Amino acid sequence: MSANLSNRIFRPYTGEKARIARAYDYLVLVLALFLFIGSFHLHFALTVGDWDFWVDWKDRQWWPAVTPLMGITFPAAVQAVLWTNFRLPLGATLCVACLSIGTWIARIFAYHMWNYFPINMVLPSTLLPSALVLDAVLMMSNSLTVTAIFGGSAFALLFYPSNWPIFGMFHVPVEAGNSQMTVADMFGFQYIRTGMPEYLRIIERGTLRTYGQVAAPLSAFFSALLSTLMYALWWFIGKWFATTRYLKRI
Amino acid sequence: MKSTTQNQTYTRSMAFHVPVNSQPQSVSKWLLLIGLILSVYMLTLQPVMAHGEKNLEPYVRMRTIQWYDVQWSKQKFNVNEEVTVTGKFHVAEDWPISVPKPDAAFLNISTPGPVLIRTERYLNGKPFMNSVALLPGGDYDFKVVLKGRLPGHYHIHPFFNLRDAGQVMGPGAWLDITGNEADFSNNVQTINGEMIDMETYGLSNGIFWHSFWALLGTAWLLWWVRRPLFIARYRMLQAGLENELITPLDRNIGKAILIGVPVLVLVFYTITVNKYPKAIPLQTSLDQILPLPAKVNAGVVEVETLRAEYRIPERSMKLSLKIKNGSDKPIQIGEFATGSVRFLNKVVPEPDQSNTESVVAAEGLSLDNLTPIQPGEQRTVLLTAGDALWESERLDGLINDADSRIGGLLFFFDPDGERYISSITSAVIPKFN
Ligand SMILES: [Cu+2]
């Protein structure tokens, strides 16, 4: 069919055809919106989980490592579909925007209204700056390899600094119970979570612990490396999902 | 899809069919996925706030944290008013082999969400903010100061989260928080001396940054969505018109994003770092608090458990105990407590040490010999703790556990009201008739 078309002069749709094509655009967009709000947010909640829910879990080691790594999955898959078929460089931004919407809904309704946590204790993190850059890299490079390496790394490296304006102020020290704590730790102590004892937080464990002050950048670079691989993996998952081959056999 | 769209009349239904080949999937596949995801999603959103007093296996409830004297300073109070829960617990010597040792334990309060906030917490008089390692055989007392936040009627327990083991509940009490939710305030002083309102701290700042990036993100999305999208772009791409899909203006905007977004991120980051130069990493440490001098098994009254039989039809535990009274006054057994059930001996008036509704069998304890054990006397006593509570509290499941040992606390009283506590432990032998 493509050979057929390209041999002739390309005629864009006009009138009724264009109108229907546009309606189809909106239908797909709305479906995609709901799909990504639900699925990406669920995926995120199940993988990043508590490290993204609670202000006192957003540490400088695990959080900056795992959040971009899990956050790049859907963007890579959706980019694979939207870029290869339509040259639309908005997959990452679309996914992350949906994730933000889903996360905010969950924080307001599930955490704040049903379970009474103050919203500032469960503020979501943002991946939007990372996603914008990822989309731009794909558009400029038109290359899976370049986007995986440079886009994937930028996605991970930008995460921690772009969230510090939101969460930095929760790291101001407080003196409580003869010890030094952050404001974030105070949230964890004061606002009772029955299933969430303090010892569950993985903070400063393992070899990264010895790097002290550079723990966060180190985590970010580690995450950048893995995000590169994760990007490529999910790009192929996206391509696989976008084929009709398997459906036709059913 | 075999039709070339060229020579055919274009109908609405076909409009929806044309891109199937190119387009990710038929609508039904997507709808199925959405339905699936939403249903899983709704399940995970359900707040998990169950009490779980009886969830753990009986031997875990009987032989880990043995609570007693749990007391609330008041049971009816206002929003913003402080209330204190105090109590004691013994950590069983006979800690079950299948339960990890209590190297990280967190003294918690079971609430349906933060209807109260915890402002202070003490173990053996020492403040502690994190988790603590408990020693089997150790005695501890605790105090937790709470502040009413949301009006309501709640059943609340102190309990321990034990790492890799679960939640061991203490006795519960009904609390009534009265007053107005809006009166609640929670101010904390930072090390700089600044007072911050925990209910709103950082909220508007967070919303600002989310809105800022959301604005840029939305602009980028709208920049593309305003043009014809899927069908049109797919056809153009297939026609080899790729260059028209990304215009020079698009590429310039892309360059601006590639440079501008990282620069903005770094600028905002630097501003924040300079604004909060004293920011520290999240704190975590295991508090080191040693047990009190022995309260249970303090050496005055010595108890050895010779045999424990559980009679299923009678729902009663028969304990054969060798007791030596090392005090200088006669003593009587007033209570046997296990797994949050208290069996009381009605002939021994016990000063009430607790205002929680621990599960009580008021006449559940009987002895083969009621005469007090004299100073210096050693006697073998047959104690029967019988009540349907064995069943309703699901403690009788013990006999079906892999580790069917019982543990509990025995309370002795002398005529002056002095109390001696001993822990007992024994394998349990079931009797089926
Ligand atoms: Cu209860």
DSSP B66-106: EEEEEEES-SEEETT-EEEEEEEEEE-SS--TTS---SSEE
- Residue A111 Cα to ligand 1 midpoint, Å, equals 22
| Residues A232, A157: Cα–Cα separation, whole Å | 17
Residue A244 sits in a domain of what CATH number? 1.20.1450.10
Query: Which distant-in-sequence residues (6+ apart) come within 8 Å of A221 by Cβ?
Result: A156, A157
A164: nearest CA in chain B? B269
- Residue B180 Cα to ligand 1 midpoint, Å, equals 24
The candidate with the shortest Cα–Cα distance to B146, out of B190, B186, B193, B180, is: B186
Of the candidates A85, A97, A199, which has its C-beta nearest B234's C-beta?
A85
8 Å CB contact of A20 and B225: no
pLDDT: which is higher, B193 or A1: B193
| Residues B99, B258: Cα–Cα separation, whole Å | 54
Q: Residue B53 corresponds to which tokens in the numbers above?
A: 């007093």
Query: Distance from A88 to chain B by nearest Cα, in Å?
Result: 7
- Residue B37 Cα to ligand 1 midpoint, Å, equals 33
- Domain of residue A142: give its range: 14-248
Q: Above 60 in pLDDT, residue A244?
A: no
Q: Residue B350 corresponds to which tokens in the numbers above?
A: 């016990």
| Residues A48, B332: Cα–Cα separation, whole Å | 57
Low-confidence winner among B42-46, B238-242, B282-286 (lowest mean pLDDT):
B42-46
Q: Above 90 in pLDDT, residue A118?
A: yes
Query: Distance from B211 to chain A by nearest Cα, in Å?
Result: 10
Q: Is residue A185 part of a domain?
A: yes
Q: B42 vs A149, A193, A217, B48, B252, CA distance in Å? A: 36, 21, 36, 12, 43
B3: nearest CA in chain A? A1
Q: Is residue A21 part of a domain?
A: yes
Q: Above 70 in pLDDT, residue B50?
A: no
CB A112 within 8 A of CB B199: no
B371 HSE (CA, 13 A, CB side): 6
Q: Is residue A23 part of a domain?
A: yes
Which segments of B276-416 does DSSP mark as H helices, in order? 389-392
Q: Is residue A81 part of a domain?
A: yes
> What angle in degrees, to the nearest 10, is found between the helix axes of B27-45 and A15-47?
30
B413 confidence band (pLDDT: 50, 70, 90): very high
Q: Is residue A7 part of a domain?
A: no
B9 confidence band (pLDDT: 50, 70, 90): very low
The beta strand positions in A8-147, using DSSP E, are none
Tell me the pTM.
0.84
- Residues of chain B in contact with residue A116, where contact means CB-CB under 8 angstroms, are 113-115, 149-150
Helix (H) or strand (E) holding A24: helix A15-47
A61: nearest CA in chain B? B281
Per-residue pLDDT of B376-406, as tens digits, reads 999 999 999 988 888 888 888 877 777 888 9
Q: B276 vs A161, A166, A172, A188, B211, CA distance in Å? A: 14, 12, 7, 21, 22
The candidate with the shortest Cα–Cα distance to A227, out of A50, A84, A74, A110, is: A74
- Residue B381 Cα to ligand 1 midpoint, Å, equals 34
**What phi and psi values does residue B108 have, to the nearest 5 degrees?**
-125, 175
pLDDT: which is higher, A244 or A57: A57
Low-confidence winner among A44-53, A86-95, A123-132, B220-229 (lowest mean pLDDT):
A44-53
Q: Above 90 in pLDDT, residue B188?
A: yes
Q: What is the per-residue pLDDT for B304?
A: 93
Query: Which distant-in-sequence residues (6+ apart) come within 8 Å of B393 by Cβ?
Result: B54, B339, B340, B341, B359
Query: Distance from A91 to chain B by nearest Cα, in Å?
Result: 9
CB B114 within 8 A of CB A117: yes
**In a 3-state reduction of DSSP, which class is residue A26?**
helix
**In a 3-state reduction of DSSP, which class is residue B183?**
helix
Q: What is the per-residue pLDDT for B235?
A: 83
Q: Is residue A209 part of a domain?
A: yes
- Residues of chain B in contact with residue A21, where contact means CB-CB under 8 angstroms, are 15, 228, 230-232
Low-confidence winner among A28-37, A221-230, B5-14 (lowest mean pLDDT):
B5-14
Q: Is residue A46 part of a domain?
A: yes
**In a 3-state reduction of DSSP, which class is residue B54?**
coil
Q: Is residue A174 part of a domain?
A: yes
Report the domain count for chain A.
1
- Residue B154 Cα to ligand 1 midpoint, Å, equals 8
Q: What is the arithmetic mean of pLDDT over B220-249?
A: 87
For an interface test with A, which of B169, B283, B285 has the most A Cβ atoms less than 10 Å from its Cβ?
B283
Percentage of chain B beyond pLDDT 90 is 54
Q: Above 50 in pLDDT, residue A2?
A: no
B23 confidence band (pLDDT: 50, 70, 90): very low
Q: What is the per-residue pLDDT for A197?
A: 76
Per-residue pLDDT of A85-111, as tens digits, reads 889 999 999 999 999 999 999 999 988
Q: Residue B414 corresponds to which tokens in the numbers above?
A: 């002398």
